[in-house]
Amino acid sequence: MTTSANREKWALSLLIDRENYYPSLLVQGHVSATDNGPRDTEQNKYLIRYSAGITQDILDRTSARLGLSPQASNDLGMILTGMYSIFQEKDATRIDISLERSETGGLYCASSVFEFDNAAEKRQPEIFALRDKSQDVMEEVEADKYGLVYVRMEGNIGNVVNGAGLAMATNDAIGFYGGASANFLDAGGQATKETMLQAFRIVLGDERVGAIMVNVYGGITKCDMIAESVIAAATELGPLTVPVVVRLQGTNSEKGLQLIQEADMGLHVEADFGKAAELVVRLAK
């Protein structure tokens, strides 16, 4: 009799290859169920063209890699097709499955892990209805209520930024000057009093934060309007317990910085990106 402990096992992963901008299938050979059993750690990667999906060539190469019989290869074909259908139709970002050989020589999925694109919540309500938010980071759940994107990090400098690209650049600049960000927070293009209020509330609620950097580029949203939102949020939550550096650049940035200075709330203003990052790192120490 063959038990689950000594059956052959394989690992498959379907995810996005960020170098080639295509889905890719990662295949790992025999994985022992016991610590002292044999283990094949080599991984093979097969790119999947969007227009073709799981091709016969991918199936043949994967079957050969795993040393499968014709029966097991047929099962693998159905499994791979199902994985890719879920990946495409349900906005998955990663699927990991563990395969085992059955007593009759076929293949079956013994376990699986799915990750889905958070931005697809409106397109995939039935998937996100299964989400257990008690397992999520509290700040991320709170930020999502107000259309903010929050990711918890390991440092002590809080960030409030508009735009994901600028937020990443802000984290890099802080790191360049020897600091470390406590969060990634993208307020998007909605730098209103309400969004700024909630952004400040979330960041200030993190007891690790020793300083905050507000880094906003004003395009369609003018910097003087952003400054008024920052002042209103700081007034409602004040007095602020940590130093705040505000860097504004773009439409009406000079006027915006002047408004913050005239508010006389102890906020530090700086138009230069590098100088602002250097200052917030120094203040956080």
Q: What is the pLDDT of residue 9?
A: 87
Q: How far apart are CA 103 and CA 105, in angstroms?
A: 6
Q: What is the mean pLDDT of residues 130-138?
A: 67
Q: How far apart are CA 92 and CA 223, in angstroms?
A: 37
> Is the N-terminal amide bond of 70 cis, ω within 30° of 0?
no
Instruction: Give the rounded percent of residues in the chain with a pLDDT score beyond 70.
Output: 89
Question: Model confidence over 87-123: pLDDT tens digits?
Answer: 999 999 999 999 998 888 889 999 999 999 988 888 9
Q: What is the mean pLDDT of residues 128-142?
A: 71
| CA nearest neighbour of 69 among 145, 152, 8 | 8
